[in-house]
Amino acid sequence: MSAEIAVIMGSKSDLPSLKGAFDTLKKFGLAFEARVLSAHRTPDAAAEYAKSAESRGIKIILCAAGMAAHLGGVIAAHTTLPVIGIPMASEPFHGWDALLAMVQMPPGIPVATVTAGPAGAKNAALLAVAILALSNPELAQKLKEFRAAQTRQVEEADAAVQAEIAKL
Ligand code: RP5
């Protein structure tokens, strides 16, 4: 199965924060590829990757980067595929720098930016699932089942909390 989703990170140091994205994509049975490409350190390779992604069958590109996080913007500049940005938290600004760099794109070149860190990584993958589900009924059904299971978990947690509080 050829990859429909690409996950690009600006540095290998971003990899641990992306576990939730990989776990989620696997859970939904989506084929993905992952690359380290940097807007600043490997600009030509990043641009070439973006330019060739659509013809290779990639449908959505997730871009994780920290600090002056230009990766999502650079990739989006070279493709019309949807690009989802995941800001990485780093010192000394705890991800605010990457968040603002990613979310503040000039009109005309959007990067759909999620929150920083692991929660953002998971949501980026879920957003990619939702986009693909628009034209894939089986995937849409899986997404509905995922949401239902998540709802049940919260209901169970609510019942457990109520039971504990009743004992006080
Ligand atoms: C960004 O700079 C990367 O995405 C990473 O989050 C940050 C630091 O990179 P390293 O110094 O760890 O390679 O480009």
What pLDDT digit, counting tens, does each position of 30-57 carry?
999 999 999 999 999 999 999 999 999 9
Answer yes or no: are the C-beta atoms of 80 and 60 closer than 8 Å: no
| Sole residue written with tokens 């600009």 | 43
Distance from residue 69's CA to the centre of ligand 1 (Å): 9
Answer yes or no: are the C-beta atoms of 6 and 62 closer than 8 Å: yes
Please report the pLDDT score of residue 64 as a whole number: 98
| Beta-bridge partner residues of 6 | 33, 61
Q: What is the DSSP string of 86-124?
A: EEEP-TTTTTHHHHHHHH-PPTTS--EE--SHHHHHHHH
Is the CB–ligand 1 distance for residue 113 below 6 Å? no
Closest residue by Cα to atom 12, ligand 1, is 13
Share of residues in the chain with pLDDT > 70 (%) = 100
| pTM to 2 decimal places | 0.95
The best mutation among 12, 13, 70 to test binding of ligand 1, ranked by most ligand atoms within 8 Å of the C-beta, falls on 13
- DSSP-derived letter for residue 11 is S
Is the CB–ligand 1 distance for residue 42 below 6 Å? no
Answer yes or no: are the C-beta atoms of 45 and 37 closer than 8 Å: yes
Question: Rounded to whole angstroms, what are the CA distances from 143 to 60, 114, 127, 128?
Answer: 17, 19, 10, 11
**Count of C-beta atoms within a 10 Å radius of residue 35:** 13
Q: What is the pLDDT of residues 155-164, one digit of tens each?
A: 999 999 999 9
Is the CB–ligand 1 distance for residue 115 below 6 Å? no
**Count of C-beta atoms within a 10 Å radius of residue 63:** 31
Please report the pLDDT score of residue 117 as a whole number: 85
CA 159/CA 156 separation, integer angstroms: 5
Q: What is the pLDDT of residues 85-144, one digit of tens each?
A: 999 999 999 999 999 999 999 999 999 999 998 999 999 999 999 999 999 999 999 999
Is the CB–ligand 1 distance for residue 97 below 6 Å? no
Closest residue by Cα to atom 9, ligand 1, is 11
Which of ligand 1's atoms lies nearest the C-alpha of 64?
4
